[in-house]
Amino acid sequence: MSEETKKGNYSADSIQALEGMEHVRMRPSMYIGDVSTRGLHHLVYEVIDNSIDEAMGGFCDRIDVTINENNSVTVLDNGRGIPVGIHKKEGVSALEVVMTKIGAGGKFDKDSYKVSGGLHGVGVSVVNALSNHLTATVYTEGKIWQQEYKKGKTQYPVKVVGESDKNGTEITFLADDTIFQTEIVYSYETLSARLRELAYLNQRVTISITDKRQVDEEGNFTHEEFYSEDGLKEFVRYLDATRECLISKVISMEGEKNSIPVEVAMVYNTSYTENLHSYVNNINTHEGGTHLSGFRRGLTHTLKKYAENSGLLSKLKFEISGDDFREGLTAIISVKVAEPQFEGQTKTKLGNRDVSPAVSQAVSEMLTNYLEENPDDAKIIVQKVILAAQARHAATKAREMVQRKTVMSGGGLPGKLSDCAWSDPDKCELFLVEGDSAGGTAKQGRDRNFQAILPLRGKILNVEKAMQHKVFENEEIKSMYTALGVTIGTEDDPRALNLSKLRYKKIVIMCDADVDGSHIATLILTFFFRYMRELVENGNIYVAAPPLYLIKKGAKKEYAWSDSDRDGIIEKFGGGSIQRYKGLGEMNAEQLWDTTMNPEFRTMRQVAIENGTEADRVFSMLMGDEVPPRREFIEKHAVYANIDI
């Protein structure tokens, strides 16, 4: 047989059959989304989901999560414990089946769980496959049962290692550092935000987190415990804690419609943004879906009917839209669906058609009762809706002015934009630079082929506290829309961002490494989160990381991006005229290119939304009127506290 025939011979022998655990290790992103920091944290969520399933079934009321010193994670619950008896079909313990067979587990048996959490139902076996080492300990039948695994492979049959009168399951795993592209280090803030969310979504279940990597002055580990008696009502109050309430109490309901458990909690505040957070089986469906459309339909229909009957709309000269009813609204919609169908770009959009009428009916009944029983609040809500309609009318005109000036309509690019030579968006980058001085340095230092510079003067508008038409009238914001080439409004949603003509796939916020620079970066991020969230979710937004120090000794010089970097370099040099960079303008063009703009050597942080509800809360807290929570947040996270006093 010739060499060419050999190469072209595609037969059954050419198919590599990968079963179960091997396939997970070869294609991890298919199971956990990606192999970055997000995927690493997803491992913890998968284990916790098993415990939450027990809680949703009424068998568990406590879950304890521990980050151990070596970045292994332990999840312990007081549920029934994974069954340890011999599985008839497999001939080994059911525990071994659950831990080593993909798709095995109680959540696929309708008699075990009515509904279950977890996005793909892949379960703890995937965590096992992607761990260097995992120990499963089960407390059941008066005994302690155990089995260990390495990279998904069983080390010995399930055995009894002691006696106990408690019930539950304990999983300890150490993620495989050969699988993940990032260092195996868990973020306490990321995990605690998710656990807090789960406590609100599953009321009367205690969930704790302990970080054994951090010890305070008294020798105590960092520890938090979450428990919610009122569930979503408390969740809404937590999210809106830094906003000014418009009505006296949270509007809420909990019940079953068409055999679908529905929970809703909502409140109106004085802000101009709409904050809707939807969940299916504890999964944050940030792309929405049928449950969200059902909520919107029920809300609009009921409020519009009430407003018309009250006669309060009689003087309004134009039609009210659905958006007007949602301005200043914070709402959480949580449904439990036996067999959820997910679609959308990231498989977080609910597609089950029967959910929409169930949620719509539940919301209509809830609101009708509330409006009748609280006439004063009802009047305040309708007046807010009328103001929103008038503001929307003004915003439409302002938005049209922005549209007219965009590239597509031939209005030309903003005068202060220094564009790049290439036109392929996949290769082009836009740097949003603080101030004209740094903008000038960046223009000189950049690679003109693919790097564009847009200097922004001063602090841009705080969109968290501004009406929509004021946002679109702001010169710096208009410049950003025009430079990026994006437009507002699609056929489906007049407020959605149209990215079809996006001119740069990398948008880099480049500010001074000081308090003012951080404030400006936060203002820009707030704008992107509230008005161009699709860019954040698509991974288009980055924050540049200019160095904090230049250390010189004789002919030797090195840059440092942190205090520990600086100390290490000084020790290596045996001393050195430390230069602290407070502003980008303090660097010359060559230095700025070498440290911050050159793709070969620069460090950039990609902006991602780990948790939509927590991001919403943090932005409203940082950009709102309440000073104490902002001060507390800054004191906890500030990196410039000792430098810029």
CATH, residue 466: 3.40.50.670
In a domain, 561, yes or no: no
Instruction: Write out the residue range of the structural domain in which residue 266 sits.
Output: 232-393
Residue found by looking up tokens 């290596």 in the block: 572
Residue 512 CA, distance from chain mean position? 26
Q: What residues form DSSP beta bridges with 67?
A: 73, 211
What is the three-class DSSP state of 55? helix
Helix, strand, coil shares, percent, the chain, to 5? 40, 20, 40
Amino acid 641: pLDDT = 42
Q: Is 434 among the catalytic positions?
A: yes
In a domain, 385, yes or no: yes
| Cβ(544)–Cβ(401) below 8 Å | no
* Strand positions, DSSP E, 492-624: 497-498, 506-510, 541-544, 549-553, 556-560, 579-580, 604-606
Same domain? For 331 and 418 the reply is no
Which of 365, 393, 421 is the last residue before a domain boundary?
393
| Cβ(278)–Cβ(288) below 8 Å | yes
Cα–Cα nearest to 99, from 44, 154, 18:
154
Same domain? For 618 and 529 the reply is yes
d(CA 111, CA 199): 25
| Cβ(540)–Cβ(506) below 8 Å | yes
The four Cα atoms 558, 560, 566, 570 give a dihedral, to 10 degrees, of 0
Same domain? For 61 and 123 the reply is yes
| Cβ(609)–Cβ(537) below 8 Å | yes
Which of 180, 203, 226 is the last residue before a domain boundary?
226
Cα–Cα nearest to 392, from 475, 274, 567, 249:
274
In a domain, 597, yes or no: yes
Neighbours of 11 (CB within 10 A): 6
The phi, psi pair for 521, rounded to 5°, reads -60, -40
Amino acid 6: pLDDT = 40
Whether the CA torsion 360, 361, 367, 371 is positive or negative: it is positive
Amino acid 316: pLDDT = 81
Amino acid 103: pLDDT = 67
Amino acid 16: pLDDT = 42
Residue found by looking up tokens 């200043």 in the block: 328
d(CA 251, CA 271): 18
Structural tokens at position 393:
């009318």
Amino acid 626: pLDDT = 78
Structural tokens at position 226:
């979450």
Instruction: Identify the DSSP state of 408.
Output: G
Same domain? For 432 and 320 the reply is no
Whether the CA torsion 244, 245, 250, 251 is positive or negative: it is negative
d(CA 452, CA 445): 11
DSSP of 223-273:
EEEE--SSTHHHHHHHHTTTS-BSSSS-EEEEEEETTEEEEEEEEEBSSS-
Instruction: Identify the DSSP state of 289.
Output: B
d(CA 75, CA 45): 10
In a domain, 15, yes or no: no
In sequence order, what are the residues at sequence separation of 6 or more whose Cβ sits closer than 8 angstroms to the Cβ of residue 461?
470, 471, 474, 476, 477, 523, 527
Neighbours of 623 (CB within 10 A): 21
Cα–Cα nearest to 253, from 335, 322, 329, 195:
335
In a domain, 587, yes or no: yes
Residues of the chain with pLDDT under 70: 1-19, 103-122, 345-346, 402-412, 490-495, 637-645
The phi, psi pair for 451, rounded to 5°, reads -115, 120
Same domain? For 601 and 469 the reply is yes
Same domain? For 351 and 385 the reply is yes
The secondary element (H helix, E strand) that includes residue 329 is strand 329-335
Q: Is 308 among the catalytic positions?
A: no
Tell me whether residue 600 is exposed, middle or buried, using C-beta atoms within 10 angstroms of its C-beta: 0 to 12, 13 to 18, 19 or more: exposed
d(CA 367, CA 266): 10
In a domain, 8, yes or no: no
* Strand positions, DSSP E, 367-514: 429-434, 451-456, 487-488, 497-498, 506-510
Active-site residue (options: 240, 324, 434, 614): 434
Same domain? For 526 and 476 the reply is yes
pLDDT single digits (tens) 155-185: 999 999 999 999 999 999 999 999 998 899 9
Same domain? For 353 and 426 the reply is no
CATH number of the domain that 288 lies in?
3.30.230.10
Structural tokens at position 557:
């010089």
Active-site residue (options: 34, 234, 516, 534): 516
Residue found by looking up tokens 């919301």 in the block: 363
| Cβ(597)–Cβ(451) below 8 Å | yes
In a domain, 415, yes or no: yes
Same domain? For 220 and 168 the reply is yes
Same domain? For 240 and 288 the reply is yes
Whether the CA torsion 590, 591, 594, 599 is positive or negative: it is negative
CATH number of the domain that 122 lies in?
3.30.565.10
Half-sphere exposure of 241 (CA within 13 A, CB side): 14
Same domain? For 435 and 540 the reply is yes
Which of 364, 393, 422 is the last residue before a domain boundary?
393
In a domain, 602, yes or no: yes
Same domain? For 219 and 263 the reply is no
Q: Is 224 among the catalytic positions?
A: no
Residue type, 357: P
DSSP of 72-124:
-EEEEE-SS----SBPTTTSSBHHHHHHHSTT-SGGG-TTT-SS--SSS---H
Active-site residue (options: 211, 512, 586, 616): 512
The count of domains in the chain is 3
| Cβ(486)–Cβ(501) below 8 Å | yes
Active-site residue (options: 514, 534, 565, 610): 514
Amino acid 427: pLDDT = 96
Instruction: Identify the DSSP state of 585.
Output: G
The secondary element (H helix, E strand) that includes residue 150 is strand 143-150
Q: Is 644 among the catalytic positions?
A: no
d(CA 507, CA 540): 6
